[in-house]
């Protein structure tokens, strides 16, 4: 038994060593600078073993190679390239986006809240994005402005009545405002105390970096087979609360039959129109409450955490 373990350990060490050589040689052969820290796992390895955010790690790489348009980084399965040049970034994000739509993550089908546009790829991403676009037309955004402005005025009053919030953790304080503003403007959600909302607590918890959550993301990016075999779910603990809340809002909007340009109105329209179909590929998406709740989850998280972080 010990002999077998030694053989296995030796094989893993050999694979690790050969992968180090391959990653560096791959980019050197193509005339691309290679980031030598973490030759096998790269930035994700640093991310999972330290308390630093990914953007901090990439800033270090950016500063280390100020004159390089792109830098090769370590990756277990496929050679990875960190694009720095603004022109190339524009091609990746816009002009040639059809070749770069994969987000780098594949989530499991039973991970209901992760079944959203952030993790979609290909025609599925395109189809859902087209369905969500009416929520963010210029006229809709203008109508949201006044709701957000009202939330800001209420927030100033809230801070005046709770001055200790100005001396606390600023990120949490700003998350409080972002939660109230996004909840009111996009979802039409209000509570008796909009600055003490259960949605805020959920958003903060969902975006809190933990070792277990970081490991889940790394496994998703590195080994899809293992990720599927383990049945990993990113947001399982928030499903009951958030899906239940969105269902309640949609059913209420159906009964009221009053259009307010909220996300719930869009959900009702999508469900009334039936199955979403892509004429080119034949792909179909059934707009169930769970699927629409997953899109709402993404919009809410994306509206709260990045805004407060910025």
Mean pLDDT value across residues 186-204: 65
What structural domains and CATH numbers belong to the chain?
2-99 (no CATH), 112-309 (1.10.630.10)
pLDDT in tens, 50-96: 778 788 889 999 999 999 999 988 877 778 889 999 999 999 888 88
Contacts of 111 (CB under 8 A, 6+ apart): 232, 233, 234, 235, 236
Reply yes or no on whether the pLDDT at 182 is more than 70: yes
Reply yes or no on whether the pLDDT at 17 is more than 90: no
Query: Could you tell me the end-to-end alpha-carbon distance of the chain, in angstroms, rounded to an integer?
Result: 54
247, 293 contact by CB (below 8 A): yes
> pLDDT class for 171, splitting at 50, 70, 90?
confident
> pLDDT class for 231, splitting at 50, 70, 90?
confident
Query: Beta 284-285 vs 276-277: how paired, if at all?
Result: antiparallel
**What's the pLDDT at 192?**
46
Reply yes or no on whether the pLDDT at 289 is more than 80: yes
Mean pLDDT value across residues 201-205: 70
pLDDT in tens, 107-140: 777 888 888 888 887 788 888 888 888 777 787 7
**What's the pLDDT at 65?**
92
- 277 in helix, strand or coil? strand
Q: What is the mean pLDDT of the chain?
A: 79
Count helices and strands (H / E) in the chain.
13, 4
Q: Which residue has the higher pLDDT, 261 or 153?
A: 153
């Amino acid at each position: 038994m010990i002999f077998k373990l030694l053989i296995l350990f030796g094989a893993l060490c050999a694979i690790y060593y050969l992968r180090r050589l391959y990653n560096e040689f791959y980019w050197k052969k193509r005339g691309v600078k290679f980031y030598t820290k973490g030759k096998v796992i790269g930035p994700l390895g640093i991310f999972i073993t330290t308390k630093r955010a990914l953007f901090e790690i990439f800033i270090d790489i950016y500063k280390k190679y100020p004159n390089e348009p792109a830098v090769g980084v370590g990756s277990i399965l496929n050679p990875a390239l960190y694009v720095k040049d603004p022109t190339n970034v524009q091609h990746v994000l816009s002009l040639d986006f059809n070749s770069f739509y994969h987000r780098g993550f594949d989530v499991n089908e039973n991970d209901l809240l992760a079944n959203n546009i952030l993790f979609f790829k290909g025609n599925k991403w395109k189809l859902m994005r087209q369905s969500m676009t009416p929520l963010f037309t210029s006229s809709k955004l203008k109508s949201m402005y006044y709701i957000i402005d009202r939330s800001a005025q209420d927030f100033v009053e809230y801070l005046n009545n709770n001055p200790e919030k100005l001396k606390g953790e600023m990120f949490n304080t700003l998350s409080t405002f972002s939660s109230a503003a996004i909840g009111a403007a996009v979802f039409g959600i209000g509570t008796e105390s909009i600055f003490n909302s259960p949605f805020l607590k959920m958003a903060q918890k969902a975006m809190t970096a933990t070792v277990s959550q970081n490991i889940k993301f790394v496994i998703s990016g590195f080994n899809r087979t293992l990720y599927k075999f383990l049945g990993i779910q990113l947001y399982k603990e928030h499903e009951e609360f958030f899906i239940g809340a969105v269902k309640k809002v949609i059913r209420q909007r159906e009964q009221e039959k009053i259009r307010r340009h909220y996300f719930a109105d869009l959900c009702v329209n999508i469900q009334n129109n039936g199955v979403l179909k892509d004429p080119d590929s034949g792909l179909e998406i059934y707009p169930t409450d769970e699927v629409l709740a997953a899109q709402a989850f993404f919009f809410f998280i994306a509206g709260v955490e990045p805004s407060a972080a910025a």
